[in-house]
Amino acid sequence: MKEALGDSLFEANPFPKMQNEILSQNELPEEFEAAIPEIDSSLQEKVVKNLLAAIVGVEAVGVARGSVWLSFHPDVVSREVICQTLHDAGFSTELSLKNGKEISC
């Protein structure tokens, strides 16, 4: 999905140096995709991108209408926290993928 979004919609976390101090060097980031039907404007894309990029442990975020892609460090933040952050902001997730397999969010 990252490739489909293009570089202009792919944004790294604004605090990478702080995260590098926290993260173990051996832990690789996991990727996460979710369909979010409420994302239907560029304003909502920015809101979701900024919301997720602000979570410590989220490495990169890509948002396109109706979907989000991100990479995160599971030793710092859980998928459940990411999903709850979206839900608390009023967004629902219809489908989540991890390594091409559907998971709950």
Q: How does pLDDT run across 46-104, given as a tens digit for each residue?
A: 999 999 999 999 999 999 888 999 999 999 999 889 999 999 999 988 766 666 666 66
Q: Structurally, how many domains does the chain consist of? A: 1
Is there a domain that residue 84 lies in? yes
pLDDT score recorded for residue 88: 95
Is there a domain that residue 20 lies in? no
The more confidently predicted of residues 20 and 70 is 70
Which amino acid is located at 30 in the chain? E
Is there a domain that residue 5 lies in? no
Is there a domain that residue 40 lies in? yes
Strands (E), the chain: 10-12, 30-35, 58-64, 67-72, 95-98, 101-103
Query: How far, CA to CA in Å, does 100 sit from each of 56, 84, 87?
Result: 24, 21, 22
pTM here is 0.69
